Every structure is written in structure tokens, then in C-alpha cells.
Structure 1
Amino acid sequence: MIQRNRRAKALAIGAVALVSSLSLAACGTDNNTTASSTGSSGAAASSPAAIACASKQAPLLAAGSTAQGPAMDLWKTTYGTACSGTTVNYAGGGSGTGVQQFTQGKISFAGSDFALKPADITASKAACTGGQAIDLPMVAGLVSIVFNVDGVDKLTLDGPTTAKIFDSQITKWNDPAIAALNPGVTLPATDIQAFHRSDDSGTTFNLTSYLAKTSGGAWAAAADKSWKGKGGQSANGSAGVSAQIKSVKNSIGYVELSYAQQNSLKSAAIATGASKPVEATAANAATTLANSTVVGTGSDLALQLDYGTKAENAYPIVLVTYEIACDKGNKPDTLDALKSFLGYIASDSAQQAIGGKGYVPMPAAVSGKVKAAVSNLG
């Protein structure tokens, strides 16, 4: 336990340093540097200027998680500056859409906020000739409970109360359950305007994983990428939810920290059972991610997260966004470009760059495994 706590503390300190540093250095064109088809791009250099472009560059189509949208925007711009022959078109659309398009063979890789289910892996074999889809954890972050409540600057919630709000069991902001968690805060006697995702979403999956684990039965449904709560209003994507919370008074919703920061939204602290409520920060998410374990087999690197953590300074509603790719059977005309791009975004420089966008750079122990898996894609 002491060793685990030391490890969590070290990672949290590292995350603070990375998040504090806006190391978004401009990428110089370096088209003379190429990666061989054996995937040397998996060990991309630490400087964006040294990105190893594919020996056979080609456009890449991708879609899926909106949680990783800001990270992907940054990465594809930086990579495209170095490797002008590889245009990365990431369409977003939500994790469910991305996985579906991938298993149908329409895109080179998908972004997903949840690990593949057995049915998804089985379906992927039609697109991955001689292989199957694998999970490559590439972006770590957290789900913020964002709010816009008249006269309220700070808000604390816990698992049971959050579940009841999103399931329409608590409908007024001055409900005794909310008031008990927020002594000294004047809560308005107004209706709660709760917003959830309308699309299948890994963000929803991670939030409902937390609710199912910590609500003491208040959230009756199992964790799911589709919204199962009663009542409330819906919006498409993290951008849609953010826009609603920003414009609708006395509202509450859930988005990734990056979207909360971009839209200047307030995030609730979470009472977990630790000595004090835990703020929604990258460093506090890193404490939780430090204790994640790889549960995938073979080249699959799916992670198990502890949504019920009670550790000090451990924010519980964390997420890991995966890139979904074929371990074998990728299309020959885009394989080199795929390995080059995925190798770059797994690199230290790419991970550090998104630290300034509200994400948590992937722990080195995980990113090292990702780099090795990318280099072995076939």
C-alpha cells in the first residue's frame, strides 16, 4: 500500500508539472525524416520537429470520441506540419459511431472512451483480415460535473446525490441532500436543468460507471454508453452539452475537463470518503490513474479504473480514451501512415503537449506498452 501511494503521489506531481507547462512548441517541417514500414515511428523523438513521417504517406480517416477531440485537433495539426503527405481527418461523432465505422471497415482507426466489448472484437475481424481490433490507451482525463447555478461558485456532490440529480429523483437545487454537502452555500429554490449526452458516448459510460459503483443503488442501471437515466434534456457531443450548460441557468451536465476549461465552466468537487472533497483537476485524476491496471490480453491494452477510490486527492470520475486499430490486417496503403501517426501521438512530446489542454499525460508505464504495440501493427 505504501508503494502504491508513493507511486500515485509521484505521478500526480508529474501531472502538475506537465499541465502547468504549455509546451506546444511549433513543429518544423521535416519531411526528409521517414519511418520504415517496420514501425520505427513507434519510438517518435521527444521533439515535435523530429516526427518520423511514414515512408509511404497517405490520408487517414478516423472518427469517434469527442472527449479526445481537442487533443486530436492539436496532434493532427502538429503532425500535418511535419508530414504534409498524411492528412488526418478525425470526424468525431461519439465513441459508438467510431467503433461502428471501424468494424465496418470505413476508417483506419477509431477513438473510443471505453474499451472494446467482446462483440465489438468479434465484429472487427471482418475489417481486420487475419487479425482483430485492439485497445491502445492514448488520452487520459476526467469527467467534470459542470454546473451553472445562480449565486453558486463552488459545489460539492457525491455518488448518491449525483445519481439522484441525473435520474430526476432530486429536482430542486435547494434539496436537503445537496444542501447537506454544501454547508454555508445559498442554493436557489429553482428547478434543476439536467443535461446528458444524446449520442452513445464513452463519457456517459465513465460517468455511469462511477454512479453504478458509488450511488448505493440510487443509480439502478448498469454502466452504459447509452443514457439510461430518467428525465433530463439531451445534447449531442461534449460540445453540445457544454453549450447548453453555458447558456441555461441552473443547469448541470457532464463533460471532459478540456471542454470545461475551454468554455469556462465551473466543475463540482466530489466527496469520495477522503478527508476532503476532491477537485476536478488533472493532478487529482493522475492519482487515480496511477492505480489503473492493464486487463487486456496480448496486444490489447484495455485498462481497469477504480471509480470507487477513496484515496486522498484521487478524483474518481476518470476516463481513458483509446485508439482502436487492427493488430493485424490493416490496409496496406495506409499502414505506414497509421503507425507513424499513432507512434507520434504516443510519444512523450505529444503527451506533454495535451497536458496544456486539460488532459492527463499517459503514465510512462502505459505509454511504453502502447509504443511497442503500435510498432508491431501489421
Structure 2
Amino acid sequence: MKLQRKNRLRALSLGAVAVSGALALTACGSDDTGGGSGGGDAGSAPASNIKCDDAKGQLLADGSSAQKNAMDAWVKQFSAACGVQINYKAGGSGAGVTAFTQGQVAFAGSDSALKPEEVAASKQQCEGGQGINLPMVGGPIAVGYKLSGVDNLVLNADTLAKIFDSQITKWNDPAIAKLNPDAKLPGTKIQAFHRSDESGTTDNFTKYLKAAAPDVWGKYEGGKAWEAKGGQSAPQSSGVSAQVKQTEGAIGYMELSYAKEGMNTVDLDTGAAAPVEATVDNATKAIADAKVVGTGKDLALKLNYETKAEGAYPMVLVTYEIVCDKGNKADTLPATKAFLRYMASEDGQKILAENDYAPIPAEIIAKVRTTVDGLS
């Protein structure tokens, strides 16, 4: 099996790589429904460095499963330092945004930036303010597969789009064979898994296909709900991952942290000199050129899914924490600010690299820290 996580614990270089043009980066995952009171690799950040301020009590949050493993590590450190109980229900980006606009949670995680109608709905809960997007977690959307005898696999956007659109149905299809001349591809039926729930991971995966393979995927509008016919579905990132790991001939999309033992990941032929592996380093090379397009305190981003820059892995997502800029509930505001401040801190971002996520580039995360300090 290819050791695609060989750079997992390596310190990231956050230097920007030139990436031409930009497309809206809206991402959102949906994962396990378990609470986030621990679990995952808590990383090496000492709890003593965390500033608790007046944080106390309990925080409820919901949303992206894409960040679930990172959230577990953050919660473990923050709760140990500050004694605040945090329950992050990774029910998916769609569920998280709904819970936020209905006033059920202190903040939400979403791999897609708020839509105008969602911003309008948030004003009912954010007295004198509105919901804003704070980019906090980055990373590649890995395409995991299970195919006996094939430990290295290269696909391009066109081939991926045809696989997930049920146009390519066998692993020895000529289009796949052309990209993998040295592989012994079996005639096994392809079992393509997609998300059954509304997901920012789906949103960003299909944005990539729409941008990089427009002739195949351009007929679809895109969004958090899966549109293509055929294939099989599973709930949340953990569900897709589990199905791919146990199904011969399977392929599915998920965050890199879910593509661990039991499966290999696809290298992308982007048109660069060499195929690009799904690693946090390569994702950071793409995210580093993201542009802030939100207005005011909103920090929604745009990113280029079509980059051909060497070593840049363009199939990425950024998870936003959704919070009120003004009008947060008085009983949860201190804990919310302290927790978000920790997540955006140097120690908090360091944990991402240790859990197969990409830290947010320095220039962008600096703006996040300033915005968090001003929440009221």
C-alpha cells in the first residue's frame, strides 16, 4: 500500500504557491453524529498555553464532519485547560447551519460559506449582527479506493467525473488504463460511493469536477446535495470511508483524515509535470493563494480548483466556523471566543498538521484572530 500519509507529522511550509484565477471555495462536510468531547490525536500543544479568560459552562455546536477529527483534538486540549464541556455534533454542514440559524448552537462548522438567505436567517439570532464565516481548517479531499493488486492509481478530473457519473463502470476501462500504463487493472465493477447527506465535502468535490471537467460535469448545478445518477451512498465522511474500506472495487471522496488504514488514495493528474498526491503540504500550496472575498468581518474565501502549479493539490476544502459577529448569547460568548481563539492560535493550528489537515495560511488566520477578538 502506498504510504500516502508519509508527510503526516512533518512541519508545513505555508509559503504561497502561485495559483492562477479563483473559483468560490465553499466547503462543508458532515460526519459522525457523536459528540466531540475527546478522541483523535490531541497533538502536542500544551494546555497551559490556552487562554481561558472567562470561559465556563457548556458549548453546543454542530456541523461539518470534515473537521470532526480536528475538533476532537481541539476539544480535548481546551476542555482540559478550561473545564468547559463542548459537544460538537458532526451532523453535516447543512445540519450545522440550520441549527445555527435556529439558535440551537453557539457556533456551527460548515465547509461552505453562508449563502445570502442563510445570512438573512442568521440575523434573527444575532441581535444587531449576522452570521460570519471564519476559515479555520483546510485540507485535501482525498479520493480513496480499494482495488486488490493496485497500490498506485492516477486519475484526472475527466476520468473522475465519468466514474462518479456512471459513465465509466469497470476498473480496466481504457481511460483509466491510459493514465496507469504500468498497473494491472482488473475488470472489477466500480463501486462509487457518494454522500447521502447534505455535505460541504460534496459541494467542493463537485465544484472541482465542474471546474476541471466541465464537459462531463457541467450539466450539474452543484451544491451540498448529490445530483448525479447511479452509485451508492453513505452518510457522513465516516460512512463513506467505512464503505470504501470494506468494499472491493470501491471508490469514494472524503477528507484525508478519514482515508487512513485500509485504503489507498488517488493521485491527481492536474496537467502539471507529475501527478499530485493528496497530502496536507500539497493542499496548503493551493490554499495559500486563496483570496478573502467576504465583506466586513466575513472571511469567506475563493480558491482555484483548476491550478496546474507543480505540487498543488486543487481538490481542497476549507471549513468555516459560523458565528455571530454581534449579538452572541451572553452566557456562551466568553467560552465561544476563548475556544475559537485557541483554534486559530499557533498551537491550535499546529494540531491540524498532526491530524492530516492543512493549517490556514498565516495571512488569512491572522485576520481570523483579529475578528474573533472583536466578537460581541
Q: Same fold (TM over 0.5)?
A: yes
Segments of 4+ in structure 1 off by > 2 A? 6-10, 22-27
Residues 352/190 of structure 1: CA separation in 2 closer, same or farther (3 Å cut): same
Residues 267/80 of structure 1: CA separation in 2 closer, same or farther (3 Å cut): same
Secondary structure, counterpart of 1:162 in structure 2 = helix
Gaps of 5+ in 2: 1-13, 19-40
C-alpha distance in structure 1 between counterparts of 2:268 and 2:284, whole Å: 15
Taking the TM superposition and a 5 Å limit, the aligned residue runs for 1:141-180 are 141-180=139-178
Partner of 1:51: 50
C-alpha distance in structure 1 between counterparts of 2:71 and 2:42, whole Å: 16
Bigger helix fraction: 1
Partner of 1:222: 221
Taking the TM superposition and a 5 Å limit, the aligned residue runs for 1:121-270 are 121-219=119-217, 220-261=219-260, 263-270=261-268
- Picking from 337, 348, 351, the partner of 1:350 is 348
Residues 56/180 of structure 1: CA separation in 2 closer, same or farther (3 Å cut): closer
- How far 1:177 moved relative to its partner? 0.8
- How far 1:58 moved relative to its partner? 2.2
- How far 1:56 moved relative to its partner? 4.6
- How far 1:265 moved relative to its partner? 2.2
Residue 16 of structure 2 corresponds to residue 8 of structure 1: yes
Secondary structure, counterpart of 1:205 in structure 2 = helix
| Residues paired across the two proteins, number | 340
Secondary structure, counterpart of 2:332 in structure 1 = helix
State the Cα deviation string for residues 83-106 of structure 1 (Å, max 9, x = none).
11x111000010000001100000
Residue 316 of structure 2 corresponds to residue 318 of structure 1: yes
C-alpha distance in structure 1 between counterparts of 2:262 and 2:114, whole Å: 32
Contact 2:42 2:74 in 1 (8 A): no
Moved more, 97-106 or 181-190: 181-190
- How far 1:264 moved relative to its partner? 4.0
Contact 2:42 2:72 in 1 (8 A): no
Secondary structure, counterpart of 1:283 in structure 2 = helix
Secondary structure, counterpart of 2:98 in structure 1 = helix
The structure with the largest alpha-carbon Rg is 1
Secondary structure, counterpart of 2:144 in structure 1 = strand
- How far 1:26 moved relative to its partner? 6.2
C-alpha distance in structure 1 between counterparts of 2:53 and 2:274, whole Å: 49
C-alpha distance in structure 2 between counterparts of 1:7 and 1:355, whole Å: 15
C-alpha distance in structure 2 between counterparts of 1:174 and 1:101, whole Å: 45
Contact 2:42 2:76 in 1 (8 A): no
C-alpha distance in structure 2 between counterparts of 1:26 and 1:375, whole Å: 21
One-letter amino acid of the counterpart of residue 58, structure 2: P
One-letter amino acid of the counterpart of residue 66, structure 1: S
Contact 1:208 1:222 in 2 (8 A): no
- How far 1:216 moved relative to its partner? 3.1
Contact 2:55 2:338 in 1 (8 A): no
Partner of 1:19: none
C-alpha distance in structure 1 between counterparts of 2:251 and 2:42, whole Å: 32
Partner of 1:24: 43
Contact 1:209 1:222 in 2 (8 A): no
Secondary structure, counterpart of 1:152 in structure 2 = coil
State the Cα deviation string for residues 25-59 of structure 1 (Å, max 9, x = none).
364xxxxxxxxxxxxxxxxxxxx312111315121
C-alpha distance in structure 1 between counterparts of 2:262 and 2:303, whole Å: 27
Gaps of 5+ in 1: 1-5, 11-21, 28-47
- Percent identity over the alignment is 54
Secondary structure, counterpart of 2:251 in structure 1 = strand
Taking the TM superposition and a 5 Å limit, the aligned residue runs for 1:287-366 are 287-366=285-364
One-letter amino acid of the counterpart of residue 43, structure 2: L
One-letter amino acid of the counterpart of residue 88, structure 1: I
Taking the TM superposition and a 5 Å limit, the aligned residue runs for 1:22-101 are 24-25=43-44, 27=46, 48-84=47-83, 86-101=84-99
- How far 1:367 moved relative to its partner? 0.9
Secondary structure, counterpart of 1:277 in structure 2 = coil
Secondary structure, counterpart of 1:218 in structure 2 = helix
C-alpha distance in structure 2 between counterparts of 1:25 and 1:283, whole Å: 19
Secondary structure, counterpart of 1:365 in structure 2 = helix
Secondary structure, counterpart of 2:351 in structure 1 = helix
One-letter amino acid of the counterpart of residue 320, structure 1: V
Normalising by structure 1, what TM-score?
A: 0.88
Residues 318/56 of structure 1: CA separation in 2 closer, same or farther (3 Å cut): closer
Normalising by structure 2, what TM-score?
A: 0.88
